[in-house]
Amino acid sequence: MTGKLFIITAASGTGKTSLVKELLATTDNLTVSISHTTRAPRPGESDGVHYHFTTVDEFKRLIDESAFLEYAQVFDNFYGTTRQAVERLLHDGVDVILEIDWQGALQVKEKFSDAVMIFILPPSRDALRSRLSNRGQDSDEVIEKRLAGSLTEMRQYDKFDYVVINDDFAEALADLQVIIKSHRLSRATQQARNGKLIDALFA
């Protein structure tokens, strides 16, 4: 496989989805793996674009078939990434982003030891609360539930390779772009993707 796997994780409301969307729009040969979930679509979300929305029974069937590279239950809903979808992209030489929670990230790291793990943090707890409230998508009860779990999520940052603070959007985006580019320029990646060119230099 010549594609590189990048795992991006953050607590709800940190701006991860917006950053990943812009990262995809400004970076070539980079795609996101679309996860399965049992939660209901939010306003503006489409099946097969943002998630593969599925029933709990269908999700459990896929678990029984060992179809998932990782899966987890978060806030009463299931989320999972199929192994087949990710491996197909990597074999085609495409760099892949997995936008998943920290539990799933650790599961994937066990199977792809060279995956690059990136954790996005908010600049403060107050900023995180404000962002969740400004979404206008969730009830106060749901917001409080997400905030309660956010601290546990954010404490997992020390298990990741890189940490990006999303205080200024443009700066956080630039940080993500640098991480992607630096790994594309690593010796191992250059040998995998440009091996014939390098060999020809010494022929």
Structural domains of the chain in order of their starting residue, each with its CATH number: 5-33+94-201 (3.40.50.300)
Strands 162-165 and 77-82: unpaired
Q: Which residues are known binding-site members?
A: 10-17
pLDDT of residue 136: 60
Question: 3-state DSSP call for residue 42?
Answer: coil
Q: Give me the residue label for tokens 């991006």.
A: 8
Query: Which stretch of DSSP H or E encloses residue 123?
Result: none
Adjacency order of strands within the sheet including 52-53: 52-53, 36-37, 77-82, 68-74
Copy the structure tokens of residue 200: 């020809």
pLDDT in the model for residue 164: 98
* Intervals of the chain under pLDDT 50: none
Which positions make up the binding site for ATP? 10-17
Two structure tokens written together for 57: 């029974």
- What pLDDT shows up at residue 93? 93
Query: Which pTM value belongs to this model?
Result: 0.84
pLDDT at residue 135 in the model? 62
